[in-house]
Protein backbone atom coordinates (compact mmCIF):
# COMPACT_ATOMS: atom_id res chain seq x y z
CA UNK A 1 0.00 0.00 0.00
CA UNK A 2 1.39 3.33 -1.01
CA UNK A 3 1.97 6.20 1.39
CA UNK A 4 -0.51 8.44 -0.46
CA UNK A 5 -3.27 5.92 0.28
CA UNK A 6 -2.32 6.03 3.96
CA UNK A 7 -2.53 9.83 3.97
CA UNK A 8 -5.95 9.69 2.29
CA UNK A 9 -7.15 7.17 4.90
CA UNK A 10 -5.92 9.41 7.76
CA UNK A 11 -7.75 12.45 6.34
CA UNK A 12 -10.97 10.44 5.95
CA UNK A 13 -10.75 9.09 9.52
CA UNK A 14 -10.30 12.64 10.88
CA UNK A 15 -13.41 13.79 9.04
CA UNK A 16 -15.35 10.78 10.36
CA UNK A 17 -14.49 11.82 13.93
CA UNK A 18 -15.53 15.44 13.28
CA UNK A 19 -18.80 14.23 11.75
CA UNK A 20 -19.55 12.07 14.79
CA UNK A 21 -18.97 15.07 17.10
CA UNK A 22 -21.32 17.22 14.98
CA UNK A 23 -23.92 14.43 15.12
CA UNK A 24 -23.83 14.35 18.91
CA UNK A 25 -23.92 18.11 19.52
CA UNK A 26 -26.49 19.29 16.93
CA UNK A 27 -29.78 20.70 18.25
CA UNK A 28 -31.45 20.49 14.83
CA UNK A 29 -32.07 16.79 14.21
CA UNK A 30 -31.97 17.18 10.41
CA UNK A 31 -28.36 18.38 10.77
CA UNK A 32 -27.63 15.33 12.91
CA UNK A 33 -29.10 13.01 10.25
CA UNK A 34 -27.01 14.67 7.50
CA UNK A 35 -23.84 14.40 9.61
CA UNK A 36 -24.46 10.71 10.31
CA UNK A 37 -25.01 10.18 6.56
CA UNK A 38 -21.60 11.82 5.99
CA UNK A 39 -20.01 9.40 8.48
CA UNK A 40 -21.58 6.40 6.73
CA UNK A 41 -20.59 7.50 3.21
CA UNK A 42 -16.99 8.20 4.27
CA UNK A 43 -16.87 4.81 6.00
CA UNK A 44 -17.92 3.17 2.71
CA UNK A 45 -14.96 4.85 0.97
CA UNK A 46 -12.68 3.64 3.77
CA UNK A 47 -13.87 0.03 3.36
CA UNK A 48 -13.18 0.41 -0.36
CA UNK A 49 -9.62 1.57 0.27
CA UNK A 50 -9.05 -1.35 2.65
CA UNK A 51 -10.03 -3.67 -0.26
CA UNK A 52 -13.34 -5.04 1.02
CA UNK A 53 -15.70 -4.33 -1.89
CA UNK A 54 -18.71 -6.35 -0.70
CA UNK A 55 -18.69 -4.67 2.71
CA UNK A 56 -18.40 -1.31 0.97
CA UNK A 57 -21.45 -2.05 -1.21
CA UNK A 58 -23.50 -3.11 1.85
CA UNK A 59 -22.39 -0.06 3.84
CA UNK A 60 -23.23 2.38 1.06
CA UNK A 61 -26.64 0.82 0.36
CA UNK A 62 -27.94 0.10 3.87
CA UNK A 63 -26.44 2.89 5.94
CA UNK A 64 -26.17 5.57 3.26
CA UNK A 65 -29.57 5.21 1.66
CA UNK A 66 -31.98 3.23 3.77
CA UNK A 67 -31.10 4.41 7.31
CA UNK A 68 -31.22 8.07 6.25
CA UNK A 69 -34.71 7.60 4.77
CA UNK A 70 -35.95 5.76 7.89
CA UNK A 71 -34.60 8.50 10.20
CA UNK A 72 -36.31 11.13 8.03
CA UNK A 73 -39.64 9.30 8.38
CA UNK A 74 -39.10 9.20 12.14
CA UNK A 75 -38.47 12.96 12.50
CA UNK A 76 -41.39 13.59 10.15
CA UNK A 77 -43.68 11.64 12.52
CA UNK A 78 -42.32 13.26 15.69
CA UNK A 79 -40.60 16.67 15.71
CA UNK A 80 -37.54 18.29 14.21
CA UNK A 81 -36.00 20.44 16.94
CA UNK A 82 -34.68 19.08 20.20
CA UNK A 83 -36.03 20.82 23.30
CA UNK B 1 -2.47 8.08 -28.48
CA UNK B 2 -5.40 6.62 -26.58
CA UNK B 3 -3.39 6.82 -23.35
CA UNK B 4 -2.63 10.50 -23.92
CA UNK B 5 -6.31 11.26 -24.49
CA UNK B 6 -7.18 9.32 -21.33
CA UNK B 7 -4.72 11.19 -19.12
CA UNK B 8 -5.79 14.54 -20.58
CA UNK B 9 -9.44 13.74 -19.76
CA UNK B 10 -8.54 12.63 -16.23
CA UNK B 11 -6.60 15.81 -15.43
CA UNK B 12 -9.27 17.99 -17.03
CA UNK B 13 -11.90 16.32 -14.86
CA UNK B 14 -9.79 16.53 -11.70
CA UNK B 15 -9.23 20.26 -12.26
CA UNK B 16 -12.95 20.87 -12.70
CA UNK B 17 -13.77 18.81 -9.59
CA UNK B 18 -11.36 20.96 -7.58
CA UNK B 19 -12.94 24.14 -8.98
CA UNK B 20 -16.39 22.91 -7.97
CA UNK B 21 -15.20 22.15 -4.44
CA UNK B 22 -13.57 25.60 -4.21
CA UNK B 23 -16.87 27.18 -5.25
CA UNK B 24 -18.69 25.19 -2.55
CA UNK B 25 -16.21 26.49 0.00
CA UNK B 26 -16.09 30.16 -1.04
CA UNK B 27 -19.51 31.22 -2.32
CA UNK B 28 -21.84 33.13 0.03
CA UNK B 29 -25.26 31.62 -0.62
CA UNK B 30 -27.10 28.31 -0.96
CA UNK B 31 -28.06 28.92 -4.58
CA UNK B 32 -24.60 30.06 -5.68
CA UNK B 33 -23.13 26.98 -4.01
CA UNK B 34 -25.70 24.78 -5.70
CA UNK B 35 -24.80 26.14 -9.13
CA UNK B 36 -21.05 25.82 -8.62
CA UNK B 37 -21.29 22.43 -6.99
CA UNK B 38 -23.52 20.90 -9.64
CA UNK B 39 -22.21 22.07 -13.01
CA UNK B 40 -18.50 21.72 -12.30
CA UNK B 41 -18.76 18.37 -10.56
CA UNK B 42 -21.01 16.92 -13.27
CA UNK B 43 -18.51 17.82 -15.99
CA UNK B 44 -15.58 16.66 -13.87
CA UNK B 45 -16.98 13.27 -12.92
CA UNK B 46 -18.12 12.64 -16.51
CA UNK B 47 -14.70 13.47 -17.92
CA UNK B 48 -12.80 11.44 -15.31
CA UNK B 49 -14.94 8.32 -15.86
CA UNK B 50 -14.59 8.47 -19.65
CA UNK B 51 -10.83 9.05 -19.27
CA UNK B 52 -10.40 5.91 -17.16
CA UNK B 53 -12.38 4.05 -19.82
CA UNK B 54 -9.94 5.30 -22.46
CA UNK B 55 -6.95 4.04 -20.47
CA UNK B 56 -8.41 0.52 -20.25
CA UNK B 57 -10.56 -0.03 -23.35
CA UNK B 58 -12.08 -3.20 -21.86
CA UNK B 59 -13.59 -1.08 -19.06
CA UNK B 60 -15.21 1.40 -21.42
CA UNK B 61 -18.85 0.08 -21.28
CA UNK B 62 -19.09 0.19 -17.49
CA UNK B 63 -17.47 3.61 -17.17
CA UNK B 64 -19.83 4.81 -19.88
CA UNK B 65 -22.76 3.52 -17.79
CA UNK B 66 -21.42 5.36 -14.72
CA UNK B 67 -21.03 8.59 -16.74
CA UNK B 68 -24.56 8.25 -18.16
CA UNK B 69 -25.99 7.71 -14.69
CA UNK B 70 -24.21 10.77 -13.29
CA UNK B 71 -25.43 12.81 -16.26
CA UNK B 72 -29.03 11.70 -15.61
CA UNK B 73 -29.28 11.90 -11.82
CA UNK B 74 -27.19 14.94 -10.88
CA UNK B 75 -29.49 17.61 -12.42
CA UNK B 76 -32.53 15.93 -10.82
CA UNK B 77 -31.04 16.05 -7.34
CA UNK B 78 -29.83 19.64 -7.73
CA UNK B 79 -33.26 20.75 -8.98
CA UNK B 80 -34.97 19.04 -6.04
CA UNK B 81 -32.54 20.65 -3.58
CA UNK B 82 -33.01 24.13 -5.07
CA UNK B 83 -36.80 23.92 -5.01
CA UNK B 84 -36.81 22.49 -1.49
CA UNK B 85 -34.50 25.19 -0.13
CA UNK B 86 -36.60 27.92 -1.78
CA UNK B 87 -39.84 26.57 -0.35
CA UNK B 88 -38.40 25.98 3.09
CA UNK B 89 -37.66 29.70 3.30
CA UNK B 90 -33.91 30.03 2.79
CA UNK B 91 -33.13 33.71 2.11
CA UNK B 92 -31.24 34.89 -0.95
CA UNK B 93 -27.94 36.72 -0.63
CA UNK B 94 -28.49 40.46 -0.05
CA UNK B 95 -26.60 41.41 -3.24
CA UNK B 96 -28.71 39.11 -5.44
CA UNK B 97 -30.24 41.02 -8.34
CA UNK B 98 -33.15 38.99 -9.66
CA UNK B 99 -35.69 36.56 -8.17
CA UNK B 100 -37.58 35.02 -11.07
CA UNK B 101 -39.57 32.65 -8.88
CA UNK B 102 -41.35 35.52 -7.14
CA UNK B 103 -42.47 37.09 -10.44
CA UNK B 104 -44.46 34.08 -11.63
CA UNK B 105 -47.92 33.57 -10.20
CA UNK B 106 -47.66 29.82 -9.67
CA UNK B 107 -44.76 30.02 -7.27
CA UNK B 108 -46.40 32.68 -5.08
CA UNK B 109 -49.72 30.84 -4.96
CA UNK B 110 -47.98 27.65 -3.95
CA UNK B 111 -46.19 29.53 -1.20
CA UNK B 112 -49.45 30.96 0.10
CA UNK B 113 -51.16 27.58 0.38
CA UNK C 1 3.32 7.52 -11.14
CA UNK C 2 1.16 10.22 -12.64
CA UNK C 3 -2.00 9.09 -10.84
CA UNK C 4 -0.65 10.63 -7.61
CA UNK C 5 -1.36 14.22 -8.69
CA UNK C 6 -4.86 13.42 -9.95
CA UNK C 7 -5.82 11.56 -6.74
CA UNK C 8 -4.33 14.37 -4.61
CA UNK C 9 -6.32 17.07 -6.44
CA UNK C 10 -9.58 15.11 -6.07
CA UNK C 11 -8.97 14.36 -2.37
CA UNK C 12 -8.35 18.10 -1.84
CA UNK C 13 -11.78 18.73 -3.36
CA UNK C 14 -13.38 16.16 -1.04
CA UNK C 15 -11.73 17.88 1.95
CA UNK C 16 -13.07 21.31 0.92
CA UNK C 17 -16.64 20.04 0.53
CA UNK C 18 -16.43 18.17 3.85
CA UNK C 19 -15.29 21.36 5.63
CA UNK C 20 -18.29 23.21 4.20
CA UNK C 21 -20.55 20.32 5.24
CA UNK C 22 -19.23 20.51 8.81
CA UNK C 23 -19.60 24.29 9.33
CA UNK C 24 -22.44 25.26 6.99
CA UNK C 25 -24.94 27.66 8.61
CA UNK C 26 -28.19 25.97 7.59
CA UNK C 27 -29.20 22.41 6.79
CA UNK C 28 -29.58 23.23 3.07
CA UNK C 29 -25.91 24.26 2.87
CA UNK C 30 -24.83 20.96 4.38
CA UNK C 31 -27.03 18.96 2.03
CA UNK C 32 -25.67 20.79 -1.04
CA UNK C 33 -22.14 20.05 0.16
CA UNK C 34 -22.97 16.37 0.72
CA UNK C 35 -24.53 16.12 -2.74
CA UNK C 36 -21.45 17.40 -4.50
CA UNK C 37 -19.21 15.38 -2.15
CA UNK C 38 -20.84 12.18 -3.37
CA UNK C 39 -20.31 13.17 -7.02
CA UNK C 40 -16.63 13.94 -6.40
CA UNK C 41 -16.26 10.68 -4.46
CA UNK C 42 -17.70 8.69 -7.37
CA UNK C 43 -14.91 10.03 -9.59
CA UNK C 44 -12.39 9.23 -6.82
CA UNK C 45 -13.64 5.62 -6.64
CA UNK C 46 -13.27 5.20 -10.41
CA UNK C 47 -9.69 6.52 -10.21
CA UNK C 48 -8.88 4.19 -7.30
CA UNK C 49 -10.20 1.28 -9.35
CA UNK C 50 -7.62 2.29 -11.95
CA UNK C 51 -4.96 2.31 -9.21
CA UNK C 52 -5.86 -1.08 -7.73
CA UNK C 53 -6.31 -2.57 -11.25
CA UNK C 54 -9.53 -4.44 -10.35
CA UNK C 55 -12.45 -4.43 -12.76
CA UNK C 56 -14.97 -5.40 -10.06
CA UNK C 57 -14.32 -2.16 -8.12
CA UNK C 58 -16.24 -0.15 -10.71
CA UNK C 59 -19.48 -1.69 -9.39
CA UNK C 60 -19.01 0.10 -6.06
CA UNK C 61 -18.86 3.47 -7.81
CA UNK C 62 -22.16 2.69 -9.57
CA UNK C 63 -23.90 1.60 -6.33
CA UNK C 64 -22.48 4.64 -4.51
CA UNK C 65 -23.89 7.04 -7.11
CA UNK C 66 -27.34 5.39 -7.01
CA UNK C 67 -27.72 5.28 -3.23
CA UNK C 68 -26.38 8.79 -2.58
CA UNK C 69 -28.93 10.04 -5.12
CA UNK C 70 -31.72 8.33 -3.13
CA UNK C 71 -30.53 9.93 0.14
CA UNK C 72 -30.34 13.41 -1.43
CA UNK C 73 -33.83 13.07 -2.90
CA UNK C 74 -35.27 11.91 0.46
CA UNK C 75 -33.80 14.92 2.31
CA UNK C 76 -35.09 17.28 -0.40
CA UNK C 77 -38.60 15.84 -0.13
CA UNK C 78 -38.49 16.25 3.64
CA UNK C 79 -37.39 19.89 3.46
CA UNK C 80 -40.16 20.60 0.95
CA UNK C 81 -42.74 19.29 3.42
CA UNK C 82 -43.71 16.15 1.55
CA UNK C 83 -42.36 12.61 2.14
- The 10s digit of each residue's pLDDT in B58-81 is 889 999 999 999 999 999 999 999
- The mean per-residue pLDDT over the stretch B99-111 comes to 66
Where are chain A's structural domains? 3-77
pLDDT band at B102 (very low <50, low <70, confident <90, very high): confident
pTM (two decimals): 0.90
Interchain proximity C67–A64, CB inside 8 Å: yes
Below-70 pLDDT ranges, chain C: 1
% residues pLDDT > 70 (chain A): 99
B90: three-class secondary structure by DSSP: coil
Q: Is the dihedral of CA C11, B44, C17, A58 positive or negative?
A: negative
pLDDT on residue B48: 92
pLDDT on residue B11: 93
B residues 12-71 closer than 8 Å to C (CB): 13-15, 17-18, 20-22, 24-25, 30, 33-34, 37-38, 41-42, 44-45, 48-49, 52, 55-56, 58-59, 62-63, 65-66, 69-70
Q: What is the DSSP string of C37-82?
A: HHHHHHHHHHHHHHHHT-STTHHHHHHHHHHHHHHHHHHHHHHHT-
Where are chain C's structural domains? 3-80
pLDDT band at B106 (very low <50, low <70, confident <90, very high): low
Q: Is the pLDDT of residue B113 over 60?
A: no
Interchain proximity B37–C32, CB inside 8 Å: yes
- The 10s digit of each residue's pLDDT in A23-43 is 999 888 999 999 999 999 999
Amino acid sequence: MSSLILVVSAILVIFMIVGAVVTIHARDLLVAIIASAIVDLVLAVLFYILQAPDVAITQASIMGGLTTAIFLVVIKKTERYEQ
Amino acid sequence: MLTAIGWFLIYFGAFFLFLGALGIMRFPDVYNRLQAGTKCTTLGALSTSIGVGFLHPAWLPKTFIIALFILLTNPISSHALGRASYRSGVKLWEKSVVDKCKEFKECVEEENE
Amino acid sequence: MSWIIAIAIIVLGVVLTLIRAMLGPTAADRMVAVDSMTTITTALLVLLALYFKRYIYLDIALVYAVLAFVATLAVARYMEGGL
